[in-house]
Chain A
Amino acid sequence: AQSVAQPEDQVNVAEGNPLTVKCTYSVSGNPYLFWYVQYPNRGLQFLLKYITGDNLVKGSYGFEAEFNKSQTSFHLKKPSALVSDSALYFCAVKTGGFKTIFGAGTRLFVKA
């Protein structure tokens, strides 16, 4: 069965510092991997995806993610965090079907 794990409920980082939000997955077959962000009382917004190709994927708002097949990870990163990056982040996976499996979410707090 497919699954996604986000091991941290919350990540705290100071503004200007680099941030990492972790994600590991378990699938049979080649995964499609996604990151989404959710601001309070809003729907999720798509940030970036990995389908194939370069393991480093760049997305919206300066975010990037690195696909590591051997570690089955897809960590979200940003070189310099902003207070406005504070939100709930979801990692998601699918293997070509219609359903996407979402992680439980990681709340990011960026302190000024």
Chain B
Amino acid sequence: SQTIHQWPATLVQPVGSPLSLECTVEGTSNPNLYWYRQAAGRGLQLLFYSVGIGQISSEVPQNLSASRPQDRQFILSSKKLLLSDSGFYLCAWGAIAGAEQFFGPGTRLTVL
């Protein structure tokens, strides 16, 4: 069966510090991968998606970036965090373009 992992589960970082959140998927090949941010426990904002290694599409211009160095690994990064980067970050995978997505447990990021 497929599983999706995210770490760390929680993170507290000072403004201006770098960020690296990791997501890995097991039990599937060539998944579509997604990073979302959820603010205040409500709607999801799509940040990035990837349909293959090294292929990243950005949805919202901001100080975040994403990379996909391996088929089942998706990394969200920032060189300098802002207060507004605080939120709940969710990674998800989908098998094909029209399919449902499966979400990881999320990372709660607090920028102070």
Task: Identify the A interface with B (CB < 8 A).
Answer: 32, 34, 36, 40-46, 49, 51, 88, 90, 94, 96-100, 102-105
Contacts and interface: CB of A to CB of B under 8 A. Distances in A.
Contacts, number: 56
A75 to B, nearest CB: 18
B98 A41 contact: no
A44 to B, nearest CB: 4
15 contacts: A41-B108, A43-B105, A44-B90, A44-B103, A46-B100, A46-B102, A88-B41, A90-B43, A94-B97, A96-B97, A98-B51, A99-B46, A100-B101, A104-B42, A105-B41
Interface of B: 6, 32, 41-44, 46, 49, 51, 57, 59, 88, 90, 92, 94, 97-98, 100-106, 108
